[in-house]
Amino acid sequence: MADTSLCRLSAVETVDLLRKKKVSPLELIDAAEARIAETDSAVNAMVIRTFDRARARAKTLKLPDPETPGWLGGLPFGVKDLSDVEGVITTFGCRVHKDNVAQRSCISVQHLEALGGLVVGKTNTPEFGAGAQTFNEVFGITRNPWDTRMTCAGSSGGAAVALASGQVWLATGSDLGGSLRTPASFCSIVGFRPSPGRVASGPGVLPLNTFSQNGPMGRCVADVALMLDATAKHHPLDPLSYPAPSVPYARSASNPVAPKTVAWAGDFGGACTYDAEVEAICRAAAERFREIGATVMEKAPDPEGARESFQIFRGHHMAAGNGKLLQAHRELLKPEVIWNIEYGLSLTSEDLRRGLILQAGVQQRFARFMADVDIMCIPAAPVPPFPVEMRYVEEINGRKMPSYIDWVLGASIVTMAGLPAVSMPCGFTRSGLPVGLMLVGKPRGEAGLISAAKLFEDIMGIAKRLPIDPIVRH
């Protein structure tokens, strides 16, 4: 019988056991399979299983030197069902692609597998990652393990749930307007959106796109740093990617340096709207940086133009990737995807020029702001987890959301600034639902951000509560 107690170890602890040959990759695959069997009927996170593929690869593993940064040594992980794994179905959460088998793995998966990562399954995602709520017509709804009546958010919702439930030790995610950070907040795990080009991605239809980024997801900061080391490198098919850092990110987690200045940016001067309880929890959490000697101030950069430029480039992104699909299979697409593609197709050259100019202004103002600040903080999600029956949040504190994606505007603003960001568990609502604080770093400031996140994690002590058995409520 598989030892599912292994699933309660961190990725770093488990890799250490692999390095010392105290556990085998096959034992870990067995443990992951057993844990998925125990938990997934309640949450529906791991929607495609690849245990046979993982076992076949485990038996022929060719590993680099165990001291290689990001060495995984046979560690099972999950892949979001927007990313290709060779020989495995990639549905993108869409009925059109329900039988689509990938011919090759995406760049991130290639890098992870080269260091000994073993794919044990694909995690659920909304259709084409559109909408921060994980449901689709292929696999159905993914539920929050803290309360199965609630959503896990999205679009990396299945990944966040698989981690929180102990199904895998690491999971891939991707983030355009909060798709890593929002589900991390809703599930009390760590979701890291890196700087553009830090994690090579693709190949895709828009290789010079700086907005959608792949990033690591884990149950603690050290695990995320390990996964970032495995994927932070150049690949010729991603022209924005750049070489690995000279000092591994794992060192920033094991020997963190405290930030000197922390800014609570709140609602960016009224641009965003937050649930009152969520805002209070996040504000109090940001103040705790004082405990490690940081100066905490209330200060925010100007986000003018961020929302408009984000809507323009999100629409452009959706139209470029799925415009032909709309013409051929409109009846198989969900309404939000149809709206977003049509908006993208309606954009003029003047719209795109305006978007570029607005985005440049946002990036430059935020970069100047971060020159005097080590870490900026805002709520990772504006509301706590909400019922799975809701497609998206339509109103916050009486303020109507203009579109299906506007409820995560804070995350979108950070996207347009081009800054690295991480969602960190920071507390729970009175009803016991998770809340996350977003820490934002300097341009290409992953090392400093990981340091700050590790120290914050130690202060809060929440990571020790994971993984959890799904709390099934009706």
- Which of 164, 191, 155, 151 lies closest to 385 in space, CA to CA? 151
Q: Is the pLDDT of residue 1 over 80?
A: no
Other C-beta atoms lying within 10 Å of the C-beta of residue 100: 14
Average pLDDT over residues 88-102: 97
Average confidence (pLDDT) over 440-444: 98
pLDDT the model gives residue 2? 84
Sign (positive/negative) of CA torsion 107, 457, 461, 431? negative
Residue 28 lies in a domain: yes
The average confidence (pLDDT) of the chain is: 97
B/e letters for 390-414, b = 16+ CB within 10 Å, e = fewer, are eebbeebeeeebebbbbbbbbbbbb
d(CA 276, CA 48): 38
How confident is the model over 235-262, as pLDDT tens digits?
A: 999 999 999 999 999 999 999 999 999 9
Report whether 371 contacts 426 (CB < 8 A): no
- Please check whether residue 471 lies inside any domain of the structure: no
Helices (H) and strands (E) in the chain, counts: 14, 17
- 474 within domain boundaries: no
Q: State mean pLDDT over 350-379.
A: 98
The DSSP result for 5-47, as a single string, is GGGGS-HHHHHHHHHTTSS-HHHHHHHHHHHHHHHHHHH--EE
* Residue pLDDT, tens place only, 140-181: 999 999 999 999 999 999 999 999 999 999 999 999 999 999
Q: What is the pLDDT of residues 301-325, one digit of tens each?
A: 999 999 999 999 999 999 999 999 9
Residue 398 resides in a domain: yes
Q: What is the structure's pLDDT at 420?
A: 98
Nearest to 110 by CA among 262, 234, 283, 260: 234
Query: 425, 439, 435: which is closest to 384 by C-alpha?
Result: 435
Which pLDDT score, from 0 to 100, does residue 424 have?
98
- pLDDT, residue 474, reads 87
**What CATH number is given to the structural domain containing 176?**
3.90.1300.10
Q: What is the pTM of this model?
A: 0.97
For the packed helices 306-329 and 409-417, what is the interaxial angle rounded to 10 degrees?
Answer: 100
**Minimum mean pLDDT among 70-84, 96-110, 196-210: which range?**
196-210
Residues designated as active site: 80, 155, 179
Give residue 176's pLDDT: 95
| In-domain check, residue 76 | yes
pLDDT of residue 397: 93
- Number of folded domains in the chain? 1
Alpha carbon distance 158, 140 (integer Å): 11
Give the model's pLDDT for residue 3.
86
Is residue 86 domain-resident? yes
- Residue found under tokens 């929302």: 307
Full residue range of the structural domain in which residue 383 is found: 4-465
pLDDT digits (tens, 9 = 90+) for 260-309: 999 999 999 999 999 999 999 999 999 999 999 999 999 999 999 999 99
> What average pLDDT does the segment 177-197 reach?
98
Residue 196 lies in a domain: yes
**Is residue 60 a part of any domain in this protein?**
yes
